[in-house]
């Protein structure tokens, strides 16, 4: 991000190469036309070739974005409701215990 900020300051376009499955874990980035792009995201994946009997690394998509909108999107979280998060944690804790003790819940501990 630091080096990207320098290139952005110098008004240089950038390219980022990522595995497609990793890119899909990022928040949806606001796209722009290629001519307006400051960053090109080159998405690669391993594609099986029957005739070669091997996987080949192939470019499967290219996404174009502005620098600052993309940076803000990936660095500013959009957290959901904390009570849903706590409920998920409590369920995971309860699943790990064969015989849950008569103890306060995670939510009760966090509010004390």
Q: How far apart are CA 43 and CA 18, in angstroms?
A: 5
Plot region of 18 (φ>0 → left; ψ -120 to 50 → alpha; else → beta): beta
Q: How many CB atoms lie within 10 A of CB 63?
A: 19
What residue spans define the domains of the chain? Answer: 2-78, 80-112
Cβ(71)–Cβ(1) under 8 Å?
Answer: yes
Q: How far apart are CA 75 and CA 52, in angstroms?
A: 41
Q: What is the pTM of this model?
A: 0.70
pLDDT in tens, 73-92: 988 888 888 888 888 888 88
pLDDT in tens, 20-71: 999 999 999 999 999 999 999 999 999 999 999 999 999 999 999 999 999 9
- Going across the sheet that includes 39-49, the strands are 14-19, 39-49, 54-65
Q: How far apart are CA 92 and CA 2, in angstroms?
A: 37
């Amino acid at each position: 991000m630091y080096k990207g900020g320098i290139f952005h300051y110098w008004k240089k376009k950038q390219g980022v190469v990522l595995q497609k499955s990793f890119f899909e874990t990022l928040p949806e980035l606001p796209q722009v036309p290629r001519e307006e792009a400051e960053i090109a995201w080159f998405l690669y994946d391993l594609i099986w070739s029957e005739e070669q009997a091997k996987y080949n690394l192939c470019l499967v998509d290219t996404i174009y974005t502005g620098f600052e909108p993309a940076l803000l999107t990936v660095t500013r979280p959009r957290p959901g409701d904390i009570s849903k998060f706590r409920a998920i944690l409590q369920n995971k804790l309860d699943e790990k215990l064969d015989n849950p003790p008569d103890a306060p819940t995670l939510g009760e501990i966090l509010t004390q």
